[in-house]
Amino acid sequence: MAAPMELFCWAGGWGLPSVDPDCLAVLTYARFTGAPLKVHKVTNPWRSPSGCLPALKTKEEGVLSQMHQIITHLRKQKYNADYDLSARQGADTLAFVSLLEEKLLPVLMYREARECLTLLSQRLGDQKFFFGDSPASLDAFVFSHLAPLLKAKLPNGKLQQHLKSLQNLCDFCSSILSLYFPWDGGDAPSSTPKMSASEGTESEEDPYKRRNQILSVLVGLAAMIGYAFLSGIVSIQRGPSGAAGPRPIAMEEEEEEEE
């Protein structure tokens, strides 16, 4: 049996399998298609063969480091979540991916991001997934951007509150988590979960494990705060002196690093 492809991605937090949208998109797409991946969840990009995350180590093309390149490679390997889509649905996928990248990603106006979420809610309607009962790449991409916004601990997140008011999008995220990541959230379970045959992890057993865990948390926390600030999901507060400035909100600690 051929060795599985190896995926290096940011570790989880907030009850999610990864805190990074691109990593989360690849993980979700792989779960949708059943792609055999050996997943390494890390909190230090230098542990990746490319020095960045996500990174997919393949036999055919070496190391791929862009989310779209990784998904394209999985499609070439016959793991294609969009196989049954019509030409119209394929065009819709491109349109909504562009919408998310232009309106919901870093430092855009709250009003535009709010309109983007509302439009996604209207498009999803009462369906389980955006194109019916089966998930496609658009579902992976939308989930990877909405789930961190939904799960992050942001007491002043106006955009998060708007997302929580759109019940079908909340149900959409919860459904994907329960169906495809039932034991793979950011919070470690009380017992060792059953692993799928196509996905493995490795644990640390060296005497410096506690030190490595603490360093992993600090690096991951910085990454999460940076993502929240750049994405505009942390609001700017005015202090008692009247001076305004960005105040990042501390997040929950992410899971321990797995080699």
* 11-51 pLDDT per residue, tens: 998 899 999 999 999 999 999 999 999 999 998 888 889 99
Average pLDDT over residues 146-169: 90
pLDDT at 59: 86
**C-alpha span between 63 and 233 (Å, rounded):** 32
SS3 category, 154? coil
Q: What are the b/e assignments for 2-17, b being 16+ CB within 10 Å?
A: eebbbbbbbbbbbebb
Q: Strands, DSSP E only, in 120-220?
A: none
Count the Cβ atoms, other than its own, within 10 Å of residue 210.
10
Share of the chain above pLDDT 70, in %: 67
Beta bridge partners of 57: 6, 63
Q: What is the DSSP pairing of strand 5-10 with strand 55-58?
A: antiparallel
* Average pLDDT score over the chain: 77
Average pLDDT over residues 104-118: 80
Confidence of residue 110 (pLDDT cuts 50, 70, 90): confident
Could you read off the pLDDT of 231-243 as tens digits, one per residue? Answer: 444 444 444 444 4
> Degrees (nearest 5) of the Cα angle 86, 92, 98?
145
Residue 229 has pLDDT above 70, yes or no: no
**C-alpha span between 213 and 181 (Å, rounded):** 23
How far from chain centre, in Å, is Cα 258? 17
Confidence of residue 156 (pLDDT cuts 50, 70, 90): low
Long-range contacts of 187-194 (CB under 8 A, 24+ apart): 187/12, 187/15, 187/255, 188/255, 188/256
Could you read off the pLDDT of 174-224 as tens digits, one per residue? Answer: 999 999 998 765 443 333 333 333 444 443 334 444 444 444 444 455 555
pLDDT at 185: 53
Could you read off the pLDDT of 48-80 as tens digits, one per residue? Answer: 899 999 999 988 888 999 999 999 999 999 999
Rounded to two decimals, the pTM is 0.74
DSSP state, residue 19: S
**C-alpha span between 180 and 218 (Å, rounded):** 28
